[in-house]
Structure 1
Amino acid sequence: MKHLTTLILALLFTVTSFAQSHTDEITKNAQTYYDYMTAQNFDGVLDYMYPKVFDMAPRAQMKAGMEQMFSSPEMKIEFLSNDVTKVSEEKVVEKITYAAVFYNSKMKMTFVSEQNKPEEDRKGFLDMMKSTMDSQFGAENVASDFKAMSLIINMDATMFAIKDPQYTGWKFLGNDDAMKMLVDSIVPESVRTELLNEE
């Protein structure tokens, strides 16, 4: 009986440490991915993206799109922080391992092209943009700074971590409305349902 208890405890510790290690590994990789995003290191971001995304849009095209978005003379976009809050259990389907990553992101949008306009115009523009962002992210998650002509958006979001034998290490796939068709075509429905609804 004593040996059985010892064996069960050993197994439990092994399972716990394994669960911990996949969580730690994904969190570490996700944080590197987010750090690249914050630093606008787009090659680094794309290295961590699940490569099947490039079947839909070539890597060079995605990089050009990111550079264009982040270097617009009209609007400056900055990620202030991206922090992993939780990693789900793993689920394996056809030798591919999936996990959901829950994170909090803070983003700042500064409307550079509006900064030298008359005060009334600036106020009207910022109010309009805040209203648009409020409807998308919730008013409680959007703060405006009239002096800087900027909005700070706080959002909780999810993405999928995918370990596919075809590629090295964990890769990531954003999970938002804009990516829905792509996510649905890559991540099986059973995986999406189970991992995203995990308590």
Structure 2
Amino acid sequence: MKKILFCLLILFAGGAVAQDAQIIKKDFEAIVAYTHQKNMDKVIDMTYPQIFKVMPKAQMKAMANGALDGMGIKTIFEEVPLMLKLSPVKKLKDATVCLGKYNQSLVLEFKNPSLVDMMAKTKMKDTRIEKLGANKLRMKGTQYLLAIKDKYTNNTWKYLRYDDEDAATNGKILSKEIITVATQLKTALTNLN
């Protein structure tokens, strides 16, 4: 009887992890689509709520919608295969996490061509920058998104960028345990190529 109960528990746990992976995959695709559509309300609804302690929702939305436009830069997301890869879902002491790696490509059109040269010289670890003309460049590369389910998300999946450029902000809002595991997951996904 104990063996049967143990087997049922293992099957249930495995089923829950598989279900989480399906939810995360669907959500990742949705959040990327909302980003491309510039539907910031939907993106914010899916964002890990602790980020709003560092950057209020209104500020995040204003930055996303107006920061580049205000500098005379138009953003065009290119449709490229996501090539989404998910890490295993990891249950931690106070949270469950999963890291996703995907491709992204966008074209920036500048009203001020002098900004093109400045941006073209910018070095980013996971992103290649290619000058397309006097007022255009392409940024193409790998992005990382961390799925988190914990007490702050009411045990539902919410998402947070986990690129190197976001490390300082993430360090302010994530527990050391989440950062340690997410970094390990990122290293494993990076080595998957």
Q: Bin the TM-score by the shorter chain.
A: 0.7 to 0.9
| Residue 22 of structure 1: aligned partner | 20
Q: Secondary structure at the match of 1:160?
A: strand
Q: Secondary structure at the match of 2:147?
A: strand
| Residue 194 of structure 1: aligned partner | 184
Q: Which deviations, in whole Å up to 9, do the C-alpha atoms of 1:121-149 show, x marking residues without a partner?
A: x7xx644532x14x32589x3332227x2
5 Å-filtered alignment, 1:167-178, equals: 167-168=153-154, 169-178=156-165
Cα RMSD, aligned residues only: 3.0
Task: For 1:73 and 1:181, locate their aligned partners in 2 and report how far apart those are by CA, in whole Å.
Answer: 24
Task: For 1:20 and 1:138, locate their aligned partners in 2 and report how far apart those are by CA, in whole Å.
Answer: 29
Is residue 2:145 matched to residue 1:145? no
List gaps (5 residues or longer) in structure 1: 115-121
Q: CA deviation at 1:106?
A: 0.5
| Residue 143 of structure 2: aligned partner | 157
Determine if contact 1:31/1:84 at 8 Å carries over to the other structure: no
| Residue 85 of structure 2: aligned partner | 86
Task: For 2:67 and 2:55, locate their aligned partners in 1 and report how far apart those are by CA, in whole Å.
Answer: 16
Q: Secondary structure at the match of 1:113?
A: coil
Q: CA deviation at 1:29?
A: 0.3
Determine if contact 2:21/2:89 at 8 Å carries over to the other structure: no
Q: CA deviation at 1:87?
A: 0.6
Determine if contact 1:27/1:84 at 8 Å carries over to the other structure: no
| Residue 119 of structure 2: aligned partner | 129
Determine if contact 2:87/2:99 at 8 Å carries over to the other structure: yes
